Structure 1
Amino acid sequence: MALPPEADADGKDPAAFRTIREVSELLDVPQHVLRFWETRFPELKPLQRGGNRRYYRPGDVAFASALHKLLHKDGYTVKGVRKLITDHGAGNLVAIANGESVAAKGRGRPAAIAPVTPIASEPAPAPIPLPTAAATSHSLLTELLVLRDRLASALAA
């Protein structure tokens, strides 16, 4: 029997719900990692039916895929992804993971990170080699380190 053209590799309609096993195989992560993400990211909320079986909607699968890319491939921490969600909204996380430009939450223009010039008394942080992260992730990390140092010095004063 031939699969309909809109069906994916496993023969399911793209709009069909997925079990935790299917999502874990799709993302190549253990099932307990998906359960952990559910505890850290309340935006990832699959349907739970009898026996606590989880059914992931297509939006949940896309969100989990974005989490996987940001956490496992781009080098973000859970706290860093939470900050992205706070700044840009959970609906934009998939676009952020795909490298698309998104508007900051509550702002009308695309979010752009202005270059931060270090204070004259502070040495610039040493560049951190990130073999799997993109150049934009590296510059963002450098800017965050500068801001962290500024905040620490301001709180100490």
Structure 2
Amino acid sequence: MVASDEKSAAAFRTIGEVAAATGVAPHVLRYWEERFPQLRPVTRAGNRRYYRPADVALIERIAALLNGEGYTIRGVQQLLARERPSGRRGTTSPASPATGDPAASTLSETKPSHGELQGEAATLARVRVVRDWIAAALHDDRA
């Protein structure tokens, strides 16, 4: 019998395979397991981790939010915690289709109280100011 280099899409993956596929280092994956309760790979003898396809998708999403969207660990924790109660576990992107703004999506979909909305809107406004300031600084450095 010849072993195939390709696993089926439903096969479990080792931490090394997941690290190679996602570009996230194994030590970072272990750290994320501590920080994100949604990320729970199957563990076998010797504490070996085996990641399901849903775990790999979650890792890719966390990496995209942290590295691509500019979220903090705390921000991703809050986003994932908000999604869990509403049953939107399989959501592929937190961005609002209309605006493409992840924070606006979070604000509109969770229906916070008026006071919470004002607090989050103020925080969002401050984040946008900082983002614009950084963009301008980067633009000045390139010119």
Normalising by structure 1, report the TM-score.
Answer: 0.58
Which residue of structure 1 lines up, in the alignment, with residue 29 of structure 2? 34
Structure 1 unaligned segments of length 5 or more: list them. 1-6, 102-109, 119-123, 133-157
Q: CA–CA distance in 1 between the matches of 2:88 and 2:42?
A: 21
Give aligned pairs, total.
Answer: 110
Query: How high is the sequence identity, in percent, across the aligned residues?
Result: 40
Which digits, 9 at most, give the CA deviation of each residue in 1:101-134, with x for residues without a partner? 6xxxxxxxx71789x789xxxxx747222679xx
Q: Which residue of 2 aligns with 1:21?
A: 16
Aligned amino acid, residue 82 of structure 2: D
TM normalised by structure 2 equals: 0.63
Structure 1 residue 99, shift from structure 2 partner: 3.5
Q: Distance in 2 between matches of 1:31 and 1:97?
A: 24
| Cα distance change of structure 1 residues 76 and 63 upon mapping to structure 2, 3 Å threshold | same
The 1:93/1:32 distance shift into structure 2, 3 A limit, reads farther
Answer whether contact 1:20 1:56 (CA < 8 A) is retained.
yes
Tell me: CA distance 1:94–1:28, structure 2 relative to 1, closer, same or farther (3 Å): farther
Cα separation, 2, equivalents of 1:18 and 1:117: 43
CA shift in 2, pair 1:55/1:73, >3 Å: same
Q: Gapped runs of 5+ residues in structure 2?
A: 98-107, 120-124, 136-143
Shift of 1:93: 5.9
Runs of 4+ in 1 over 4 A off after TM superposition: none
User: Superposition pairs for residues 40-119 of structure 1, below 5 Å?
Assistant: 40-89=35-84, 92=88, 95=91, 97=93, 99=95, 111=109
User: RMSD of the TM alignment (CA)?
Assistant: 3.3
Look at both structures and tell me which one has the larger radius of gyration over its CA atoms: 1
